[in-house]
Structure 1
Amino acid sequence: MCEIKNVSCSEVAQNELKFAVYTTADFLKFMHQLNTPHRHNYYMILLNKKNHGSQLIDFKEFDIAPFSVTCLHLGQVHQWLNYESIEGYVLVFESDFFALRYQNYQLSEFSFLSYRHTQPYLTISEEKFNHIESIAVWMLREFNSIEVNFEKSLRSLLNIMLIDLNRLFEPANKNAEFSQSLQLIHHFEELIDKYYKEKHFVKDYASLLHVRPNYLNAICNEVTSSSAGDLIRNRILIEAKRLLIHEKKTASEIAYELGFVDNSYFGRFFKKYENYTPDGFKKKYLKN
């Protein structure tokens, strides 16, 4: 068995701040260590200015193009594939770092940092990239100077960068009602991530959220264009794939771990939504 390595923010940041910013040249040593599949317990933002590379994020290969932004959220399985020549900046941070200053303004405000945002990658104009880069350069200067109140400055700069990135990933204006819906979906996602191994039905989560299942489903369709059931199933399926490919567990072991009544039910569930049996998916993936 080859378990997925869980990488903590402190390993990469090498400090107790739960935050760090690097140039890609300085981050290269971590890339060498993380060129096998690993699971993040932190958020990561990659700003690439020059040259091309590639990376694997939860079974999808993404190009790292010039003037691109990649945002990884908690729990995603990531692997650097081709990274030696890219030039830019890497930020790593935990929600605790942000929350120390913005207790009532959580990272849930930024939908591109959540599971519902299926596209963690964006290519932007050179002008917009230069603006984001200027914030990263300022961060780097603060991070390396360790002057008085540098932590407060870094939190403020991170907030500004996240606001600007959110405008790029979610360009449409959101009214107050839609913002409330986003908050509900964020709490729903948090609960899914906590209980997906034991709770598989929309009614279970609706009860925890104190709303009716039909209402939760309607909000999910409005905000994510996916049903509440789809969000639950997608979380179960991505974990099943992780266990199948990266940890090389059998279908029976995965069925038990993910709370299915038996192996055959898990097999039918997997095939219905992936068009392959678990073993068939594994063979196809490894062949490719």
Structure 2
Amino acid sequence: MQEITIRKTKEPLFSGNFEIINLGDLLVDKNMEEGLHRHDFFFLMVLEEASGKHHIDFNDYPVVPNTISLIRPGQVHELILEKGSKGYLITFDFNFYSSIYNYKKEIFWKVVQHNYYNLGNQKFGKILSVSKYIFDEFIQKKAGYEEVIKANLDILFIELMRDVLENNTLKEQNDPYEQELLDKFVQLLESQICTNKQVTEYSEMLHITPYKLNAITKNLLGKTSSQLINEQIILEAKRLLLATSNQINEIAFKLCYEDPAYFIRFFKRYTGYTPQVFRQNFK
């Protein structure tokens, strides 16, 4: 069975996997073109000047100045950055950026739930300055540079969290406990969807009742827990349909459906297309 191409981090340069690239140096006289693939690491792109195309999980995002793209492990994307684009590309994994502090984890997970940020000049200027500082530390590698980089990533994520809160006052009013459970549920969906498709399975992992989980998702997102589970199944199915040449029954088995016919009916019910027609129309 063909798998979606997974880009992996390079060998550790120090305590974890991390890299930052100056896009202005890389794209002086050439484009960056990456076909449909997924990563096993976080992908953060800070664009000062840019043009091109970017698709993340089959959604189009403008490639323009003063924007930031942030992709979680497992998401599928394809990218064209045209020559002359400027900014920084930062990649890292959990071995490099993780924290024992819950408040830092909460900030980070709020930020990475959003794939795209379009910022004003002042906000973007702060993040660009932080990114340049990270790049200089990475290149110079003076004593303690790993910790300096991590501290500046903290600052970068705080700035992005402020943007999230300023553009969505509802999040400021959310119950912190409920928001934390929702964030954990979303994380579990991304990693467990192929083997776990029932609300009860996720509520057990979160140590709450199915009723409580459903109340949280309806209160914070306006959707039932089952709706979120089904949306994640459909998203992963679309990833496999468009990024691989696997047969439909192979994709059904990959998603842990023993009966391919049931998978086909399920997919058509939620998309209006059979998997085969969806692949033909959108690939």
**Structure 2 match to 1:3:** 3
Contact 1:132 1:164 in 2 (8 A): yes
**Structure 2 match to 1:265:** 262
Decide whether aligned partners of structure 1 residues 156 and 33 sit closer, same or farther in structure 2, where only a CA change above 3 A counts.
Answer: same
Consecutive unaligned residues in structure 1, runs of 5 or more: none
- Percent same amino acid among aligned pairs? 27
TM-fit CA distance, 1:209: 1.6
Contact 1:2 1:246 in 2 (8 A): no
Q: Of 145, 163, 167, which aligns to 2:140?
A: 145
**Structure 2 match to 1:193:** 190
Contact 1:21 1:90 in 2 (8 A): yes
* Counterpart check, 1:67 vs 2:69: no
Decide whether aligned partners of structure 1 residues 33 and 54 sit closer, same or farther in structure 2, where only a CA change above 3 A counts.
Answer: closer
Aligned residues: 278
Decide whether aligned partners of structure 1 residues 96 and 107 sit closer, same or farther in structure 2, where only a CA change above 3 A counts.
Answer: farther
TM-fit CA distance, 1:27: 5.0
Contact 1:47 1:68 in 2 (8 A): yes
Contact 1:98 1:107 in 2 (8 A): no
- 1:96-111 aligned within 5 A: 96-99=95-98, 102-105=99-102, 106-110=104-108, 111=110
CA deviations 1:116-148 (Å, max 9, x no partner) are x4xx11211112111111111111111111111
Report the AA paired with residue 144 of structure 1: I
**Structure 2 SS opposite 1:128:** helix
Q: Of 155, 160, 166, which aligns to 1:165?
A: 160
CA distance in 1, matches of 2:13, 2:7: 12
Q: TM-score, normalised by structure 2?
A: 0.89
C-alpha RMSD of matched pairs (Å): 2.5
Decide whether aligned partners of structure 1 residues 89 and 266 sit closer, same or farther in structure 2, where only a CA change above 3 A counts.
Answer: same
**Structure 1 match to 2:244:** 247
**Structure 2 SS opposite 1:37:** strand
Q: TM-score, normalised by structure 1?
A: 0.87
Contact 2:185 2:206 in 1 (8 A): yes
CA distance in 2, matches of 1:246, 1:265: 22
Consecutive unaligned residues in structure 2, runs of 5 or more: none
**Structure 2 match to 1:232:** 229
Decide whether aligned partners of structure 1 residues 54 and 175 sit closer, same or farther in structure 2, where only a CA change above 3 A counts.
Answer: closer
- 1:48-67 aligned within 5 A: 48-67=47-66
Contact 1:44 1:93 in 2 (8 A): yes
